[in-house]
A and B are shown apart, each in its own frame.
Chain A
Amino acid sequence: MNAPAIPRAGLARLAFAALLAVLAAAAQAQPYTTPPPPAPPRPLAISAPSEGKLGNGLRVIVAHREGVPLVSVELVALAGAEVDPPRLAGLASLGAALMTQGTKRHSAPELAAAAEALGGSLDSGAGWNSASISITVTTPKLDAALALVAEVAREPVFAPDEIERVRTQTLDQLKVAYASPGTLAALVAERLAYGAGPYGHPASGTPESLPRITRDDLVAVHRRTFRPDNAVLILAGDIGADAALALARRHFGSWPVPAERAAPPPRAAAATSGPSVAIVDMANSGQAGVVVAVGLPERTGSERAIGAVLNSVLGSGYSSRINQEIRIKRGLSYGASSVVDARREAAFFRVAVQTKNESAAEVVRLVQEEIDRMMAEPVGAEELAARKATLIGGFSRSVETTAGLAVAIRSLVVANRPPAELKTRIEQLEAVTAEDIRRYAAAQLGPARRRIAVAGEANAFAAALKAALPNAVTVGRDALDLERSDGLGRR
């Protein structure tokens, strides 16, 4: 087990060679003083997935990839936390979590045991615009895995005991989230950006909303959401289109379409009547969590590409501007980054940084300056090329795995985009110009649209922050009420 990998005879020869190498090194240390240039590139080709449809309306999208005997499965229903009723934040999320916790035929432990015996794990969850069930298995287990996915989608029972268990667990997880400055700042920023709109409430629920959710609520939201004419089955990996369609028919062909019509999704609107800057005071917090956010309106296809390249320049990736200024130049954080988090046609843009409490106001200023710079000056040609390369390289690597490929297709489907964009995505990103970025930033990221949340030990930064942003409101962590759409303190 522990034997040396090189045989003894080889070692003797190497020892002699080593002597020569040491002499050679002494004579010519560091002979190569510049990086050798690259060889000609070998471009990556991503194929467009194929698509079929069952009689009941279920779309089936297949990305065939040979080589590794794995298939990743995603069953996506096209409604999520956006449809949570006003006082029932967390409904979609709780409902999705409960799908795998018992069906008409199997208990929660039996379902987990069956999925894990196939080598994967059966995961379910809700996003803002979708709810999904996923599993990755080796090809011989695919048939059995699809049977489990179909059972969980079609026959969940929402047993009262399971509801109570998952509800209690979720409430415990919220206690941990509310003790984490970065998580709390993100929740508050989302509320500030969207107010009473469909994306304003915490998708995981609040300590007040979760106890209000009844079994009837869960059954109703499941019936509305998981129906074949509102769902998409995605298979990525070592499976051909015809075989995939046959499997889909076997497991989902008899899934009936309910008589009532599917409800259209709500339209997103940033409703920003509340404060624009909030300080959440967390006594003894080890750091401050800083979030600067903007709710972006509906986007066209080219605006999606512009937003992605803008984000790559500004805050996504190690060498983005925000990480350069905050981490690399000033040592103020372990990592400062931004994301454009898609919301069907719209998106939520946010910068997130954790820093020592004393630096929070400086970090807010630096983030704002970098956003201002995106609005004022076009990105230089060299920087733009580098940031596009980072973005395109990251996208290419993300689809190297079957699970990554399935997630990329899911993102397109949920955003109402054709799955074939997988193939054209790189060209779309390449086409973005510096002026496109400046114009989009100027139109969308102005100071009036920014919402800022800082959670941490307020006495270390509140005075400095209020000097720069006099409209900041302060709320104690224990008085925070994320149920409220217009403000943050308990009445």
Chain B
Amino acid sequence: MIRGMQRTELVRGVAAVLLALVAIVASPPAASADTAPSAAPLKVKPIVYRERRLANGLQVITVETHTSPTVSVQVWYHVGSRDDPAGRSGFAHLFEHMMFKSTLHLRAEQFDRLTEDVGGANNASTGDDVTEYHEVVPSNYLETLLWAEAERMMNLKVDEENFKSERAVVEEEYRQRVLASPYGRFFNGIAPASYLEHPYKRPGIGSIEDLEAATLDDVVAFHSRHYRPDNATLIVAGDFEQKQLDAWIDKYFGVVPKPSAPLPRFDAKEPPWQSDRTARITGPQVPLPAVAITWLAPPTTSDDAPALQVASAVLAAGESSRLNQSLVYRQRIATQAGFNADLRTGPGLLIAYAIGAGGKSPGDLAAALLAEVTRLASTPPSAAELAKVKTQLVTAAFVSRQTPLGLGSAIGEAAVLEGSAARVNTDLDDLQRVSGADVQRVLRRYVLGARKVTIEYRQQEGAK
């Protein structure tokens, strides 16, 4: 499922890293094969990082490692699709694309000259709560990239022609993701159908109408409102020398002025859901019907977050997960089935979904999804099942932290989305401590004891 849009699909972005992490976690019922492991899982070494804050409010986190002669520079702005201005759904994401256009001292696309042309890469992604920009470059280009990120933080200067052509690109991105993909309308429709009032209700990709309404003035206003040092986290991970790096950061980011206007506060609320609701969506090319069921989730900072992550892994991660074994393998009523704890800084969603098979209706799929979630809430997972989830989590952490980009992204998620860089190390311990009773408790609280929204997706009549 799409959690964030990226500047380009050519390079793996943070959204993809997040998805990969979720997807790799798995947990089947008892391991009966004689190949079952006897060796205990390895401990992931804590990431050793340094954290400081510049006088202008910029949070700086650095991780020195010399496994390859490359370095990743990342700037995570604490602004996301939730901050789209009124009547401008999709704007935070459109804006992200504009950050690759001209600044006072950089030509349009010069970021690509400073990265791609020297053997590096760049990308960016916009999520509900955050917009992150990242580069990976040969480490001798580190100083250049620090200068360039500081430059676009303070001196963005997009012209009308660049704005219009890039807006057209984003409209094509909308068509590709939402209109041309058989399940695009379905996944794009989940948040709008679920939330009653919270700005998370608006799809991050926006609509053609709202994108067309956006202006260059909106770009200028959005940059000055949200793109400021005290609303950003700079992360540098990889091959550098700490003292030299600190001096460069002071030199290039230290001069970025802190605006006198107060930092914009975001504090939207979602009212409690008072009743179960059903929404129906159709599309012109829907080969198999689908269904999603959503419940409100606690924020990323909740003490219940680790148990919800383990619950979603038991249900949905891997071929041997419960939903796959039940709906896809045994009952054969779905081609795929999933459960995602889509936690955010505000109220997130727990999402169970299935795409049908064998002519089953969305109602049949919904009943089967609910039956599996209820079964886990009423009977605890086995010790072997929990052990599996935890082994998968440890392995996934090793896999994602092999590269400077992966290391930096792990830090960014912890620092910006979970509120503290230290979480990058404590999260794994917290997950290891989750018990079967914890899994049951959170499912009872947030799923069985809560209101839900059912989203049904079908072929539009007479369209095919």
Contacts and interface: CB of A to CB of B under 8 A. Distances in A.
Nearest to A37: B144
Contacts of A112: 28, 318-320
Contact of B399 (A19, A33, A394, A401): A401
Interface of B: 8-11, 24, 26-37, 39-42, 51-57, 67-70, 104-106, 109, 112-114, 116-122, 136, 138-144, 147-148, 151, 154-155, 164-173, 175-176, 178-184, 239, 251-252, 254-258, 260, 284-288, 301, 303, 318-320, 325, 328-329, 332, 335, 357-358, 384, 387-388, 391-392, 394-396, 398-399, 401-403, 415, 419-423, 426, 463-464
B285 A285 contact: yes
B391 A328 contact: no
B119 A356 contact: no
B345 to A, nearest CB: 11
Nearest to A333: B172
A355 B320 CA distance: 38
B281 to A, nearest CB: 14
Interface in A1-43: 1-6, 10, 14, 17-22, 24-26, 28-43
A491 interface: no
A159 interface: no
Contact of A116 (B39, B144, B318, B328): B318
Contacts of B173: 334
Interface residues of A, number: 112
Interface in A389-403: 389-390, 392-394, 396-397, 400-403
Contacts of B155: 30
A172 B335 contact: yes
A347 B286 CA distance: 34
Nearest to B388: A117
A113 B284 contact: no
A431 interface: no
Given A138-B394, A401-B402, A331 B318 contact: no
Contacts of A386: 113, 116-118
Contacts of B139: 42
A68 B27 CA distance: 24
B278 to A, nearest CB: 24
6 contacts: A109-B329, A141-B391, A173-B335, A287-B172, A318-B116, A334-B176
- Which of B40, B52, B55, B303 is most buried by chain A, counting CB atoms within 10 A of its CB? B55
B143 to A, nearest CB: 5
A33 B329 contact: no
Given A35-B144, A108-B329, A334-B172, A5 B51 contact: yes
A21 B258 contact: yes
Contacts of A176: 182-183, 287-288, 335
Contacts of A397: 70, 121, 136, 403
A470 interface: no
Contacts of A300: none
Contacts of B35: 114, 118, 144, 147-148, 151
A168 to B, nearest CB: 7
Contacts of A69: 42, 398
Interface stretch (A48-56, A177-185, A225-233): A177-185
B112 A319 contact: yes
Contacts of A140: 37, 39-42
A463 interface: no
Nearest to A175: B287
Contact of B147 (A29, A35, A182, A334): A35
B42 A113 contact: no
Contacts of B109: 319, 328
Nearest to B390: A119
A392 B119 contact: yes
